[in-house]
Chains A and B, each alone.
Chain A
Amino acid sequence: MSAVVVSGVSKVFSTGKSAKVDALQGIDLAIEPGEFVSLIGPSGCGKSTLLRLIANLTEPTTGSITVNGKPSRQARLDQDYGMAFQQAGLFEWRSVAKNIELPLELKGWDRAKRRARAMEMLDLVKLPDFAHHMPWQLSGGMQQRIAIARALAAHPPLLLMDEPFGALDEMTREHMQAELLRICKETDTTVVFVTHSIPEAVYLSTRVVVMSPRPGRITDIIEVPLGGSRDDDTRETGDFFSKITEVREALRGAEYAVGARGIEDR
């Protein structure tokens, strides 16, 4: 069973009485369990919209989306995915542990079980001593780790991330990327990851989905066969650089190929 299947999806936003924006057109995408798929493209290409459609935070104009074999709405109601945003978005009035427990509270878990899981998640993101800190006492990178712990607290099979490291400095960012790969491997989580950083997409992904704007569509899908164990040395290999070049050229091609329908279906 595929983790995510998007078929024939388009999304039209009506901004005024007659003004309409084709945010997405003819999107077909299947994501298998265990994959790490990045959506990359210039701003306005609809990559965040596609993520929100998968999350069922907005409905498609046409087409259908299934998550875990269920319609995306049912998957959302069942909390089949966790979500992380560019801003960590921790609730400042809740302790770190209480923030991680939020999805479990909504699932109706009892207090002891919630706390045990929160501690487990804090170990996973390597911040075991911060359970009783308040979010504003943490650095940006630490807050983002807590946000990931919160997204994964209920052990969802799918993690949706919208530029989660966009607000971090370069050093923290690379460290967080490595941490994210380790966490996903340990928890066996499938990831859909929106970014506009080419090296980030290449370093993290098994596949990079290249998108182009007006109307938003998929122009290229690039496999990244860098293997399962990637570390800081991976960033200095020739394969890494040649993949970066490939994605960059695909992005450039996407910019010029207005009207072209380079959709690779698989």
Chain B
Amino acid sequence: MFVVSMALVAAAWEAYKKWGPQDGGEVLGWKILPRAKDRVMPHISDIFSRFTDPLNRASDETVLEVVLKGVWFSFRLVLAGFGMGLVAGMLLAIVMTRFRFAERAVLPYLVVSQTVPLIALAPLVASWGGKLELFGWEWPRWMSSAVLGAFLTFFPIAVGTLRGLQSPTAASLELMDSLAAPWRRTLVTLRFPAAVPYIVPALKLGAAGAVIGVVVSEISTGLRGGIGRLVIEFSQKTTGDPAIVYTAVLGAAFLGLVLAGMVAIADAVFMRNRPKEVDA
């Protein structure tokens, strides 16, 4: 199905190129139809053949190599950000489950934190790079991007895990009480397994958040080496090299797909032996 839908998207692209207005069009006086010129919408075949060409005359690296390197660099940042967000989100959820007052005190701030635009936060966090020192460990520049990825990851994880940890019925909790299980044991034996169906969808949201956080912060802070930086660099070349910016965009999409695939594997592993319908 995926292959078919990809083919349909490619066909729609080429069809618009063929029959769409070359210099853009107007709908009810609004200039919103994109231009179908080769300079703006290169042929699909041009985009893909660009991958195998060298980056420029002076370089012996192909565009594919450059894009994959960028994807690999960003991928590591995404993993770091996702990991940090996962740990932070889960710890927050555990604390909020343990202490009711913590939930009432902290949860509103978590919600507010997500209304701060990432773009506004990025320069601030980026400015920590090279300036902040913790116990002799210097804050590396890439860490800022990972932290911004974590910033978008921890929230869905915290909220999903919290709902999951609170999902066991009163009877299940009383059962653990009747067996004289201490709180920590109840967390590990009952609350956490019960939370898995809530955590898995949160992982999907968190992974998407980590990708967006890292790529956007790479773009807005200009961090070298990642796919976000490549999107900017390539977009400045579009006048002479219209196909190249799409290679970076496809690279970014590929990064998202890799993360989505990893979460899908986690889903299959954690949700085996579970009833198939869960009201999460």
Instruction: Give residues in A with beta carbon < 8 Å to B.
Output: 52, 55, 57, 76-79, 81-83, 85-87, 89, 91-95, 102-103, 105-106, 134, 136, 160
Q: B181 at the A/B interface (Cβ < 8 Å)?
A: yes
B275 engages A136 (CB within 8 Å): yes
A89 engages B196 (CB within 8 Å): no
A93 engages B273 (CB within 8 Å): yes
Residues of B within 8 A of A160 (CB): 178
Q: Least Cβ distance of B198 to chain A in Å?
A: 13
A92 engages B275 (CB within 8 Å): yes
**Bound form: Cα–Cα A92–B276 in Å:** 11
* A52, A94, A103: the one within 8 Å of B179 (CB): A103
The answer to whether A93 and B196 touch (CB under 8 A), given A79-B179, A87-B169, A103-B179, is: yes
**Bound form: Cα–Cα A94–B273 in Å:** 9
Residue of B nearest to A150 (CB): B175
CB neighbors of A among B174-196 (8 A): 174-175, 177-181, 185, 189-190, 193-194, 196
B169 engages A81 (CB within 8 Å): no
B190 engages A92 (CB within 8 Å): no
In this complex, how many residues of chain B approach chain A with their Cβ under 8 Å: the count is: 19
In the A-B complex, list the 10 residue pairs whose CB atoms are closest, starting with the nearest: A136-B275, A85-B171, A83-B178, A93-B193, A77-B180, A89-B171, A106-B179, A89-B172, A103-B179, A57-B174
Residue of A nearest to B276 (CB): A136
Q: B274 at the A/B interface (Cβ < 8 Å)?
A: yes
The answer to whether A106 and B181 touch (CB under 8 A), given A85-B171, A93-B196, is: yes
Residues of B within 8 A of A78 (CB): 180
Residue of A nearest to B175 (CB): A89
**Bound form: Cα–Cα A81–B180 in Å:** 11
A55 engages B275 (CB within 8 Å): no
Residues of A within 8 A of B175 (CB): 83, 85, 89
B181 engages A86 (CB within 8 Å): no
Residues of B within 8 A of A103 (CB): 179
* A57, A86, A87, A92: the one within 8 Å of B178 (CB): A57
Residues of A within 8 A of B177 (CB): 57, 76
A91 engages B178 (CB within 8 Å): no
**Bound form: Cα–Cα A115–B177 in Å:** 23
B181 engages A85 (CB within 8 Å): no
The answer to whether A79 and B190 touch (CB under 8 A), given A87-B171, A89-B171, is: no
The answer to whether A81 and B179 touch (CB under 8 A), given A87-B171, A89-B172, is: no
Residues of A within 8 A of B172 (CB): 89, 91
A106 engages B185 (CB within 8 Å): yes
Q: Least Cβ distance of B182 to chain A in Å?
A: 10
Residues of A within 8 A of B274 (CB): 92-93
Residues of B within 8 A of A91 (CB): 172, 190, 193-194
Residues of A within 8 A of B190 (CB): 91
Q: Least Cβ distance of B267 to chain A in Å?
A: 15
B171 engages A106 (CB within 8 Å): no
**Bound form: Cα–Cα A79–B179 in Å:** 6
Residue of B nearest to A136 (CB): B275
Query: With A76-B178, A102-B189 given, can you name 15 additional A-B contacts, CB distance below 8 Å?
Result: A57-B174, A76-B177, A76-B180, A81-B178, A85-B171, A89-B172, A89-B175, A91-B190, A91-B194, A93-B193, A93-B194, A93-B273, A105-B189, A106-B185, A136-B275
Q: Least Cβ distance of B185 to chain A in Å?
A: 7
Residue of B nearest to A75 (CB): B180
> Scoring B residues 70 to 89 as 1 if CB is less than 8 Å from chain A, else 0, what string do you get?
00000000000000000000
Give 13 pairs: A residue, B residue, CB < 8 Å, sorted on A. Answer: A76-B178, A81-B178, A82-B178, A83-B175, A85-B171, A85-B174, A87-B171, A89-B175, A91-B172, A92-B275, A106-B179, A106-B180, A134-B273
**Bound form: Cα–Cα A224–B180 in Å:** 34
Question: Which one of B175, B193, B275 has the highest number of Cβ atoms from chain A below 10 Å of its Cβ?
Answer: B175
Residue of B nearest to A94 (CB): B193
B185 engages A86 (CB within 8 Å): no
Q: Least Cβ distance of A110 to chain B in Å?
A: 17
Residues of B within 8 A of A93 (CB): 193-194, 196, 273-274
Residues of A within 8 A of B196 (CB): 93
Q: Least Cβ distance of A148 to chain B in Å?
A: 13
**Bound form: Cα–Cα A93–B167 in Å:** 14
CB neighbors of A among B190-245 (8 A): 190, 193-194, 196
**Bound form: Cα–Cα A106–B181 in Å:** 7
Q: Least Cβ distance of A5 to chain B in Å?
A: 19
The answer to whether A102 and B178 touch (CB under 8 A), given A93-B273, A93-B274, is: no
Residues of B within 8 A of A52 (CB): 174
**Bound form: Cα–Cα A93–B188 in Å:** 13
A102 engages B193 (CB within 8 Å): no
Residues of A within 8 A of B171 (CB): 85-87, 89
